[in-house]
Amino acid sequence: MGRRKKEPDSPTDQEQFKSQLTGTSAEAIENEMIALAYKEVEYRIRNHTASSQELVHFLRMGSEKERLEREKLGVDIQLQSVKASSIESARQTDEAYERVIAAMKLYQGIDEEE
């Protein structure tokens, strides 16, 4: 028992659908589309017409493994941010040392060109 194929939407139907979206940026429209997709899948789950792929997707999303993977991803993002801050701090420290050394040479009367 396969699913019935839906007739392609007419261009006017597509234009009406696009006009219903309220987002002004591409990201906002994408978020609206995602929300609509979730609502559609929720409707199909409640009416027992969801595909096995849809059910498995949401079962995986609710698993402990998925939660841990999302948590690990968040920690990895924080780690990358800390590493970037550390690199920037090291660069600033190097620049400060160079200024101090240049000032000490000037104080001692050493010309920088020598």
Distance CA 49, CA 34 (A): 19
Angle 58-32-67 from CA coordinates, rounded to 5°: 30
User: What ranges do the domains of the chain cover?
Assistant: 11-61, 64-114
Residues 31-76 have pLDDT tens digits of 888 888 889 999 999 999 999 999 998 888 888 998 999 999 999 9
Residue 67 to residues 4, 8, 73: CA-CA distances in angstroms? 35, 38, 10
- 80-111 as b/e: b if 16+ CB within 10 A: eeeeeeeeeeeeeeeeeeeeeeeeeeeeeeee
Average pLDDT over residues 90-107: 92
pLDDT at 8 over 50: no
